[in-house]
């Protein structure tokens, strides 16, 4: 079955350490996205990529970095510069890259990151 | 930043009740309005994507309407069932699929 896989499901890190969250899709989708959820807030966009080797900042990109070296993979690194990294992170993909506003998002199951 | 608002924040209904929720969004530079259902311990699932003013879409007992001129969308559930219990998210955004999500409406359906 095609889908999006995020790993791990739970991740614990010490403050000051960088951590990378994995997101892999086998849907052959062009576009991929990273969202963050905090209690009482809507999903907020961190980064997105419409095509391999290209990505754009979302609304809350500070303290995060991404890469898109392969179509299937869009890893997110939470750096030590991110002031409040503890959150639930969701990865998503959609079929089309450019003009993808009318393509529904397909989501992974998320990674819950706790930084102490 | 585009602001997408949903109301109510939560809703408790009895099995068999029909219900509806609202999503409001800025009407300028509109591209699309998405609805998702997010059940506990699962990932959000797309319900509808609507792009044209006056669009109406239906999937089983769930339907949605879109008014882009005034910037709102309604989601209707007819004859709610316990399995409809979930958080319903709406989202709107830019041309590249970079969606802005509302905070969601949490629906609880009691048997």
- Average pLDDT (B87-105) is 89
- Encode pLDDT of B18-51 as tens digits: 999 999 999 888 889 999 999 999 999 999 999 9
B88, β-bridge pairs: B37, B105
- pLDDT tier, A99 (very low <50, low <70, confident <90, very high otherwise): low
CB nearest to B97's CB, from A90, A94, A110: A94
- Average pLDDT (B53-76) is 96
According to the model, what pLDDT value does residue A24 have? 97
8 Å CB contact of A98 and B1:
no
Map A43-102 to HEC letters: CEEEEEEEECCEEEECCCCCCEEECCCECCECCEEECCCCCCCCEEEEEEEECCCCCHHH
CB–CB contacts below 8 A, A to B: 74
Residue to test with chain A: of B29, B33, B96, most A Cβ within 10 A: B96
8 Å CB contact of B49 and A103:
yes
At B78 the three-state DSSP class reads coil
* A96 CB within 8 Å of a chain B CB: yes
- pLDDT tier, B17 (very low <50, low <70, confident <90, very high otherwise): very high
- What lies within 8 Å, CB to CB, of B76 at 6+ separation is B18, B19, B20, B62, B63, B64, B65
According to the model, what pLDDT value does residue A69 have? 97
- Encode pLDDT of A8-56 as tens digits: 999 999 999 999 999 999 999 999 999 999 988 889 999 999 999 999 9
Nearest residue to A92 via CA among A79, A109, A78? A109
């Amino acid at each position: 079955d095609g889908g999006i896989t995020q790993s791990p499901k739970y991740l614990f890190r010490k403050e000051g350490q960088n951590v990378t969250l994995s997101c892999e899709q086998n849907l052959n989708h062009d576009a991929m996205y990273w969202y963050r959820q905090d209690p009482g807030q809507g999903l907020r966009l961190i980064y997105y990529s419409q095509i391999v080797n290209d990505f754009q900042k979302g609304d809350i990109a500070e303290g995060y970095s991404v890469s898109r070296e392969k179509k299937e993979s869009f890893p997110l690194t939470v750096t030590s510069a991110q002031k409040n990294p503890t959150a639930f992170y969701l990865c998503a993909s959609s079929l089309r890259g450019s003009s993808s506003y009318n393509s529904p998002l397909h989501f992974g199951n998320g990674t819950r990151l706790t930084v102490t | 930043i585009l602001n997408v608002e949903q109301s109510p924040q939560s809703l408790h209904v009895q099995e068999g009740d029909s219900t509806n929720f609202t999503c409001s969004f800025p009407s300028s530079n509109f591209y699309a309005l998405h609805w998702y259902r997010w059940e506990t311990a699962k990932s959000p699932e797309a319900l509808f994507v609507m792009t044209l003013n006056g669009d109406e879409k239906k999937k089983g007992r769930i339907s949605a309407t879109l008014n882009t001129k005034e910037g709102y969308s309604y989601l209707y559930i007819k004859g709610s069932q316990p399995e409809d219990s979930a958080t319903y998210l709406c989202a709107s955004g830019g041309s590249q699929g970079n969606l802005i999500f509302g905070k969601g409406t949490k629906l609880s359906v009691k048997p």
